[in-house]
């Protein structure tokens, strides 16, 4: 079957499902459309390589159509292939942050696109959705976008939202054209309407990083943890130059008492990384600090310490490895503990999934069933 006949076939077979008002079915149809449309464009000569040439075998006509047919055939079997997996229809959901207000859980996230990586189609807005059961989501208008005239004039990534002094503070990654990443800040009184505090960064990685606004510099995926004594700690993904001339992955850190004035706290090294320690997330339970991070190419791992900035212990793989996915946060809602995961399925397809979090008596963590 030539590529256009194949495209017509998948469109025709998908057509009956367009009448569904089931959100899971709507997302599945939108995913099929996005994958098939991208495959058609590539077959007709569109170059999928992107700015940095990262497309690889995931972004060929055959690979994209194969995934589209997988979703379609699941629908034809009476299944919902994206049940329990959330993103806006046709979109991908990557880094994210939760905050609860009046019993409603608010979710903020990178708005990516199925069939594309971020260098192929910009991630230039931060989305917002709410839920009361972790399965059904109401989608609201995006809350922040990239804008000309500031450091975030290329893309915006990685929201992290905290409440302080009756206001909500969103730290996010502003990215300029050179892919120099920096931490920026917006504030809100209601979680729906946000105002940027400045068009310039509130934080960039320290001298140890060699951060430079004129070239790719790693200072992204910030999160804010408030300790028992009121100190705020910022953790973020970065790199530092090693003696052999290579750059090594690390987690940068800073501290503050008011979320405005920040003090450099150096960086944390994590052993056995395959690439970067993406999307660091810190929490405290029963006197122990837990640092979750994405060990790129491996999955979600964590380290444990008695202190917020030092003494991190990475347990053996059977204890510290949670799941082969990324961007994990650990949170409680409705009296239960959960893990969130941004499951990457290839072809630019990524969804939020939530699973039960099980705390063992020895303080280690395991993942329970996914919410479906």
Considering the chain, what is the average pLDDT of its residues? Answer: 94
- 272-285: average pLDDT: 89
Indicate the pLDDT class of residue 243, thresholds 50, 70 and 90: confident
CATH code assigned to 91-370? 2.115.10.20
Angle at 89 between CA 86 and CA 91, to 5 degrees: 80
pLDDT above 70: residue 32: yes
Q: What is residue 276's predicted lDDT score, i.e. its pLDDT?
A: 85
Which residues are CB-neighbours of 241 under 8 A, at least 6 positions away? 210, 247, 248
pLDDT above 80: residue 299: yes
Q: What is residue 195's predicted lDDT score, i.e. its pLDDT?
A: 98
Q: What is residue 324's predicted lDDT score, i.e. its pLDDT?
A: 67
CA-to-CA dists, residue 7 to 2, 27, 59, 271, angstroms? 9, 19, 16, 47
320-333 residues labelled b (16+ CB within 10 A) or e (exposed): bbbbebbbbbbbeb
pLDDT above 90: residue 349: yes
Tell me the C-alpha distance between 30 and 91, whole Å. 8
- 58-69: average pLDDT: 96
Q: What is residue 56's predicted lDDT score, i.e. its pLDDT?
A: 82
Q: What is residue 315's predicted lDDT score, i.e. its pLDDT?
A: 73
Higher-scoring residue by pLDDT: 148, 242: 148
- 194-217: average pLDDT: 96
What pLDDT, in 10s, does the model give residues 10-23?
Answer: 999 999 999 999 99
% of the chain exceeding 70 in pLDDT: 98
Indicate the pLDDT class of residue 272, thresholds 50, 70 and 90: confident
- 118-135: average pLDDT: 96
> Domain spans of the chain?
3-76, 91-370
Coil vs helix vs strand at 165: coil
pLDDT above 90: residue 93: yes
- 34-42: average pLDDT: 97
pTM of the model: 0.96
Tell me the C-alpha distance between 291 and 115, whole Å. 31
Tokens coding 256: 């503050």
What pLDDT, in 10s, does the model give residues 132-183?
Answer: 999 999 999 999 999 999 999 999 999 999 999 999 999 999 999 999 999 9
Among 156-165, 194-203, 262-271, 310-319, the least confident range: 310-319
- 193-210: average pLDDT: 96
% of the chain exceeding 90 in pLDDT: 85
Tokens coding 118: 């971020």
pLDDT above 90: residue 202: yes
């Amino acid at each position: 079957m030539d590529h256009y006949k194949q495209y017509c076939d998948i469109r025709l077979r998908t057509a009956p499902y367009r009448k569904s008002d089931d959100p899971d079915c709507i997302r599945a149809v939108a995913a099929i459309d996005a994958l098939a449309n991208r495959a058609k464009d590539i077959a007709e000569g569109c170059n999928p390589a992107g700015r940095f040439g990262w497309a690889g075998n995931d972004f060929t006509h055959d690979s994209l159509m194969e995934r589209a047919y997988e979703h379609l055939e699941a629908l034809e079997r009476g299944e919902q292939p994206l049940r329990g997996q959330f993103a806006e229809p046709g979109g991908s959901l990557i880094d994210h942050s939760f905050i609860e207000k009046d019993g409603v859980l608010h979710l903020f996230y990178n708005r990516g696109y199925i069939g594309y990586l971020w260098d192929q189609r910009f991630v230039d807005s931060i989305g917002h959705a709410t839920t009361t059961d972790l399965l059904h989501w109401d989608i609201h208008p995006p809350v922040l976008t990239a804008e000309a005239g500031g450091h975030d004039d290329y893309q915006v990534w990685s929201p992290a939202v905290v409440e302080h002094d009756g206001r909500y503070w969103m730290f996010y990654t502003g990215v300029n054209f050179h892919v120099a990443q920096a931490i920026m800040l917006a504030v809100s009184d209601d979680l729906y309407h946000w105002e940027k505090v400045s068009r310039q960064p509130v934080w960039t990685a320290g001298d140890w990083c060699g951060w430079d606004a004129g070239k790719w510099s790693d200072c992204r995926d910030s999160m804010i943890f408030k300790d028992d004594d009121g100190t705020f700690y910022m953790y973020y993904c970065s790199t530092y130059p090693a003696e052999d001339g290579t750059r090594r992955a690390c987690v940068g850190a800073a501290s503050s008492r008011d979320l405005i004035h920040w003090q450099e706290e150096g960086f944390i090294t994590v052993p056995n990384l395959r690439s970067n320690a993406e999307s660091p997330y810190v929490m405290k339970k029963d006197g122990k600090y837990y640092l979750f991070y994405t060990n790129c190419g491996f999955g979600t791992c964590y380290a444990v310490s008695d202190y917020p900035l030092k003494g991190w212990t990475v347990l053996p793989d059977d204890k510290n490895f949670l799941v082969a996915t990324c961007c994990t946060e650990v949170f409680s809602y409705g009296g239960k503990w959960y893990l969130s995961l941004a499951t990457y399925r290839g072809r630019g397809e990524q969804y939020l999934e939530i699973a039960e979090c099980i705390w063992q008596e020895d303080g280690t963590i395991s993942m329970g069933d996914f919410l479906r």
